[in-house]
Structure 1
Amino acid sequence: MRYRFRCEYLGSAYFGWQEQNEHGKTKFVTVQSALEEAFRIALRTPIDLVAAGRTDTGVHARGQMVHFDYDGEIDCQKLMRSINGLGKRTVKIRELEICAPDFHSRYDAVSRYYVYTLFTRPVALLRDFGWEIGHLPVDYELMEREAKSFLGEHDFIRFCIPRNDGKSTVCNLTRFELKKVNDYISEWHIQGNRFLHRQVRAMVGTLFDVGRKRYPAGTVNEIFADKFKGERTMAPPQGLVLEDVLY
């Protein structure tokens, strides 16, 4: 039978989602490896977890979708309590349920929704959940106009670190919106059918470069056209959260 659940985790506690190979005697702890160990103990058998997307080291998630197969019926409420008790406090699961046998958390997803948080003043309590851009003057209206260049279908090869797996680097973005939470917190709300390795961080970093007048308006289109030769900023991972995966 196939089951699925939502997963929430603190990205700074793990080396990304995907399980890593061993390097000598050291094995990096990932979200996948931590959860699979908890499921192995609870179900007394190895379980392979498949997520909707492979978040990078330091990137958080609130709505990651995961599925797995298990030969038998499960008391979902009891298993959730066991996993959340056995696992680390930095990762929790919810909404565990039986799903269609052909459901696939990655391939059935129609869009992914991310939020990237910016702080315009020094912070202490929230510093692990956003990018502190500090006192630098930033033109938010200019960034919003520049962000519209990301909308629609584009080849994002120049806004990612290719995994060299032969897969397409074309993505279709349907939302790239800036929201002011208060006088020092702003959020980028970004949605698309798929995202590539470090793509969101590269896009946000480019918008920051434009917003602080390091580069002019139109830089995004120059990068798409491979006409841009300058150095670019990569937004740090702790500001990014995978909020939801839609089906």
Structure 2
Amino acid sequence: MTKKVVLVVEYDGSEYKGWQAQKLGIPSVQESLEKALAVVANHPVRVVCAGRTDSGVHASAQVVHFETDAERNERAWTLGVNTYLPSDIRVVAARDVADDFHARFSALSRRYRYVIYQSSICPAILSNGVTWSYRALDAQAMKEAASVFLGTHDFSSFRAIGCQANTPIRTILNFDVQQVGQYIILDVRANAFLHHMIRNFAGVLMSIGAGEKPIAWAKKTLDAKDRTKGGITAPPTGLYFVGVEYPEHFNVPFCKLGPHFLPYIEELSYDVPS
């Protein structure tokens, strides 16, 4: 009897050309995971993810589902599968899920964190896990600027030129900026994201934080609805897919917000503009 299984997956995307399986010989997270799952399931496995990540982007809580007729317990889908995975990919939770669950289409929102490390010296540790800023950034100015992105807008100024989404309209549900020691964390939750959207947010906010641009430039960029009017696309190294929200009845495993090297950050809520 075929059943559906949901997994929560953590990975360091530094050595992969993104999530999606590609041509033979091009490393991807999806291909590595499917190969490991096939060994444990004893049949080919195809996984569907909540949100594809680009080359060099990480995840602390990517959600995927797959179908199988293999009778395995949760331990087999976690520890067993991890035995066959490279050290930079790990299944951290597994659970049987209802047949009508879909990792992508059942999602109510997705959440990313962008981690910036401020130091006069480029870090050796986590060099591929954070985005380095040699200048001190004004986190409060970045936070004020980010508030204009809340709500439903045309985010054409923040989509990649090659973005294939049918519409640039997205709803930002939360956008927080916090400083913890030398880290500045951009924490963004939305119904969905455009290609390079978070990295383009980061590029604009880092310019504002560095004092290169005024706070009002964030709204000016948003209102322009033109990618050429925006800032640089920030590097992928600091970007993490950290969570997906689903209807409670699906009982998808919940993992503590990552990445795990960050200390606890207090959850904040916002009233989203209509």
**Both proteins in one fold, TM over 0.5:** yes
Paired residue for 1:129? 129
How many residues align structurally?
A: 241
State whether structure 2 residue 175 is matched by structure 1 residue 173: no
Map 1:189-204 → 2, pairs under 5 A:
189-204=187-202
Structure 1 equivalent of residue 15 of structure 2: 13
Matched, 1:148 2:147: yes
Which secondary structure does the structure 1 equivalent of 2:193 belong to? coil
Mapped pair 1:244 → 2:243: yes
Q: Distance in 1 between matches of 2:4 and 2:168?
A: 30
TM-score, scaled relative to structure 2: 0.82
Corresponding position of 2:102: 104
CA offsets 1:158-177 (integer angstroms, 9 cap, x no match):
21225554523221112111
User: Would you say 1:81 and 2:79 are equivalent positions?
Assistant: yes
Cα displacement (A) at 1:144: 1.3
For residue 81 of structure 1, report the CA deviation from its aligned partner.
2.1
Cα distance in 2 for partners of 1:231, 1:158 equals 6
Distance 2:50 2:162 in 1: 17
Q: Secondary structure of the residue that 1:209 maps to in structure 2?
A: helix
Structure 2: where are the runs of 5+ without partners? 247-274
Q: Deviations over 1:124-155 (max 9, x none)?
A: 22322211111x24332221111001111112
Q: Deviations over 1:30-73 (max 9, x none)?
A: 00000111112222211110000001111110111000011343
Give the alignment partner of residue 46 of structure 1, picking from 44, 47, 60.
44
Structure 1: 5+ residue runs without aligned partners?
none
1:61 is matched with: 59
RMSD: 1.8
- Structure 2 contact 175–189 (Cα < 8 Å) conserved: yes
Give, in whole Å, the separation in 2 of the partners of 1:231 and 1:57. 22
Q: Deviations over 1:55-114 (max 9, x none)?
A: 111111011100001134322312322210011011010221110001011111111121
1:19 aligned partner, one-letter code: A
Instruction: Confirm whether residue 218 of structure 1 aligns to residue 216 of structure 2.
Output: yes
1:57 aligned counterpart, secondary structure: coil
Taking structure 1 as the reference length, what is the TM-score of the superposition?
Answer: 0.90
Matched AA of 2:132: E
Residue identity in the other structure for 1:10? D
Q: The residue matched to 1:19 in structure 2 has which SS? A: coil
Using a 3 Å threshold, how does the CA distance of structure 1 residues 137 and 96 change in structure 2: closer, same or farther? closer
**Partner amino acid for 1:140?**
A
Q: Which amino acid in structure 2 is aligned with residue 232 of structure 1?
A: G
- Give the superposition deviation at 1:226: 2.1
* Shift in Å, 1:28: 0.8
Task: Pick which of 59-68 and 38-47 moved more.
Answer: 38-47
SS of structure 2 residue aligned to 1:189: strand
Residue 114 of structure 2 corresponds to 116
Give the fraction of aligned pairs with identical amino acids, expressed as a percent. Answer: 30
1:34 alignment counterpart:
32
Query: Aligned equivalents of 2:82 and 2:51: distance in 1?
Result: 21
SS of residue paired to 1:225: helix
Q: Is the 8 A contact 2:143 2:178 kept in 1?
A: no
> Against the structure 1 CA distance between its residues 14 and 166, is the aligned structure 2 distance closer, same or farther, given a 3 Å change threshold?
closer
Aligned residue identity for 1:18 = Q
